[in-house]
Amino acid sequence: MKPRLGVLTSGGDCPGLNAVLRGVALAAEKLNFEVLGFLDGFEGLLPPGNFMVLDRRSTSGIMPRGGTIIGTTNRGHFVAKVGAGDRAVVAENAIEDAKRILQEHRVEALIIVGGDGSMTTALQLQEKGINCIGVPKTIDNDLEATAMTFGFDSAVAAVTDALDRLHTTATSHKRVMVLEVMGRHAGWIALHGGLAGGAHIVLIPEIPFDYDKITEALRTRETKGSIYSLVVVAEGACPRDGQAVMHKIAEGENRFGGIGSVVAAEITARSGKETRCTVLGHLQRGGAPTTLDRILGTRFGVQAVKLASERQFGSMVSYQNYQVRHVPIVDAVNRLRLVPPDSQMVQTARDVEISFGD
């Protein structure tokens, strides 16, 4: 019988996940592995085991599709919502159940595709004797151990498209348009999307802003003859000496979101300008992946299979200097890659008259 690999996708969905699965399936076939795709994230590891076979046939034509054909979740027995830098502890019985299911189905190694929380869970499984290979996934692009994650480019493309559309309506009505985008702790999406989409003000978590500075930037544009302005704000951005805007959802959990409406209201109150807010939300996660994300996802999937075949367990795929390499999972978790306020990218934005409200 052929040796088997398992793969699962965990946490938020994003474009490029199916490219990873296709890469895993085709690379595994070449190395004489069978692949079981466990459904709905880590929950598929619970008895009796919920999976589908991933092979050439089942992954044919999936690369252009957004989301993941094997499902995902950011809830359940293995995944806990925790703050940045915190560690989610998985119950011992859940790990033992997963270990038993993997043994029963002859799975030699588990490829886990997910973000920082999923990598934290992967590390705990590895410590308990389950052979794990990590594949980093987050549209926020905020994992320090890799220079880029798939899904980010597609998210930026969605922001850019939204700004292209907002330019026309903002011009027609001579309004200020505020676009709230994802980015809880890191402002990469807002920065790249704002630069590509011609925004005039970009607010990110790494650079606390001042409402008076925002008003000043809008007035400066007006004196130069501009009749409208576009503001991009990351959901985790907050004013100097203030806090990020959160809202409560089920079970008392706090979630980022709402800063766009607050910024829009402050702009109207301070400047008298008619202002509207658009929240892009999950549109950033959906749709077909860009060319870059299809390629990067494929490369990540292939590299994960190679690491498993070489028994480099406890490793995470990493993209550095245009090469797909790997790092220890233990060195990758709880290390966020934030936007350096003095980075060349920020300076480039400033040089084309983008204000950061500081």
Task: State pTM to two decimals.
Answer: 0.92
**How confident is the model over 82-118, as pLDDT tens digits?**
444 455 688 889 999 999 999 999 999 999 999 888 9
Pair 328, 184: CB distance under 8 Å: no
Pair 181, 159: CB distance under 8 Å: yes
Question: Looking at the predicted structure, is the pLDDT value of residue 137 above 90?
Answer: yes
Residues of the chain with pLDDT > 70, as a percent, come to 96
DSSP characters over 193-221: HHHHTT-SEEE-TTS-B-HHHHHHHHHHH
**Domain 155-285 adopts which CATH fold?**
Rossmann fold (3.40.50)
Sign of the Cα torsion 282, 166, 238, 358 reads: positive
Q: What is the pLDDT of residue 181?
A: 97
Question: Looking at the predicted structure, is the pLDDT value of residue 8 above 80?
Answer: yes
Query: Region 234-250: what's the mean pLDDT?
Result: 82
Q: What is the pLDDT of residue 82?
A: 47
Q: What is the pLDDT of residue 200?
A: 97
**How confident is the model over 148-201, as pLDDT tens digits?**
999 999 999 999 999 999 999 999 999 999 999 999 999 999 999 999 999 999
Q: What is the pLDDT of residue 249?
A: 63
Q: Which CATH architecture group holds 4-150+289-331? A: 3-Layer(aba) Sandwich (3.40)
Pair 108, 3: CB distance under 8 Å: yes
**How confident is the model over 338-357, as pLDDT tens digits?**
999 999 999 999 999 999 99
CA distance 299 to 19: 9
Domains 4-150+289-331 and 155-285 share a fold: yes
- Which has the higher per-residue pLDDT, 253 or 91? 91
Question: Looking at the predicted structure, is the pLDDT value of residue 300 above 60?
Answer: yes
Q: What is the pLDDT of residue 117?
A: 87
Q: What is the pLDDT of residue 245?
A: 82
Q: Which residues are catalytic?
A: 140
Query: Region 221-230: what's the mean pLDDT?
Result: 93
Pair 159, 280: CB distance under 8 Å: yes
Question: Looking at the predicted structure, is the pLDDT value of residue 271 above 50?
Answer: yes
DSSP characters over 283-324: GGT-SPPPHHHHHHHHHHHHHHHHHHHTT-TTEEEEEETTEE
Residues of the chain with pLDDT > 90, as a percent, come to 85
The ranges assigned to domains in the chain are 4-150+289-331, 155-285
Query: Region 21-27: what's the mean pLDDT?
Result: 98
Query: Region 44-58: what's the mean pLDDT?
Result: 95
Average pLDDT of the chain to the nearest whole number? 92
Q: Taking the mean position of all CA atoms in its chain, how far away is CA 118?
A: 12
